[in-house]
Amino acid sequence: MTVEITDVGVDLGGRPVLRGVTATAREGRWLAVIGPNGAGKSTLLKAVMGLLPCTGLITVGGRPVRDLAPRDRARVLAYAPQSPLLPPDMTVHEYALLGRTPYIPYWGRESARDTETARAVLDRLDLTALAARPLERLSGGERQRVVLARALTQQAPVLLLDEPTTALDLGHQQQVLELVDRLRRDDGLTVVSTLHDLTVAAQYADDLLLMSGGTAVAAGGPGEVLTEELVTRHFGARVTIGAGPAGRPVVHLRRPTG
């Protein structure tokens, strides 16, 4: 499903945090939202999820998000926050099963099918061996995969991931991102994620949205958005953009000489 963001604005505590943001995440593609700290990346994701009141229009598959009932919304959009709250004594299976919440009536309980869906997702993410383990006894990489498992159990066509690789080492970052990309291709999911590492964003995303000071300042393919001029202006960093594998740009920091 395609996500269309049109002229979206968000105020937090009377302060404008987003202004006039317009962007599109096309069906089956990966849109990475990049930008300096405080640019409004996470806020944009929350607004898309319907967690923050916003002006403008956000549609998923042509339907305005604000017109969807919470349960219907949760069936088309799955969201993983930057630092998810993991109840220490909940097991991996119980946590993954929470993803079935939008399919269970208020007074109801999980059906055998819900349990089976959660089990299948855990299997797919190589988490079956950890199913009975409490969340407090997981490593950083495992936690990130478990959060992803919960989002996938939701079986929503759009995945919103806020910094899915924070606090992960290089190997685990790669593992998680490859996994997301594989799932995207296999299931035709639309992925919208914030990513702070520009080279990583360029490697994985089909489209980039560069945000700065609460507005969208550039959008397009990695080669169009990651230019020395734009990065220097919005990140205040001195960089050299090189050519990486498959023609995707690589961002190098440049030390001042002399």
Please select the residue that binds other proteins; options are 101, 115, 155, 175, rule is CB under 8 A. Answer: 101
Residue with tokens 């997702």: 121
Rg (CA), the chain: 19
Q: Is 79 in the site for other proteins (CB under 8 A)?
A: yes
Query: For residues 80 and 123, is the Cβ–Cβ distance under 8 A?
Result: no
Burial profile 105-136: b = 16 or more Cβ within 10 angstroms, e = fewer: eeeeebeeebeebbbebbeebebeebbeebbe
87 belongs to the binding site for other proteins (CB under 8 A): yes
In the set 4, 56, 63, 98, which binds other proteins (CB under 8 A)?
Answer: 98
CB of 137 to other proteins, least distance (A): 13
Which of 149, 192, 150 minimizes the C-alpha distance to 31? 192
Among positions 152-181, residues that touch other proteins (CB under 8 A) are: 154
Sign of CA dihedral 32, 38, 39, 41: positive
The one segment of 102-110, 219-227, 233-241, 250-258 that binds other proteins by CB under 8 A: 102-110
- Identify residues 37-76 at the interface with other proteins (CB under 8 A): 46, 49-51, 69-75
Q: Determine if 215 is a binding residue for other proteins (CB under 8 A).
A: no
- Residue closer to other proteins (CB basis): 161 or 183: 161
Q: Which residues of 7-31 are buried (b: 16+ CB within 10 A; e: fewer)?
A: ebbbeeeeeebbbebebebeebbbb
Give the CA dihedral 49, 226, 206, 139, nearest 10 degrees: -60
- Minimum distance of other proteins from residue 128's CB (angstroms): 19
Please tell me what DSSP assigns to residue 255.
P
- Least distance to other proteins, CB of residue 252, Å: 36
Q: Which residues pair with 249 in a beta bridge?
A: 243
Q: Within positions 116 to 145, which residues make up the interface with other proteins, using CB under 8 A?
A: 134, 136
Query: Binding residue for other proteins (CB under 8 A) from 2, 63, 90, 206?
Result: 90
Distance of closest approach, residue 47 Cβ to other proteins, in angstroms: 12
Question: Where along the sequence are the contacts to other proteins (CB under 8 A)?
Answer: 46, 49-51, 69-75, 77-79, 81, 84-91, 94-95, 98-99, 101-102, 104, 106-107, 109, 134, 136, 154
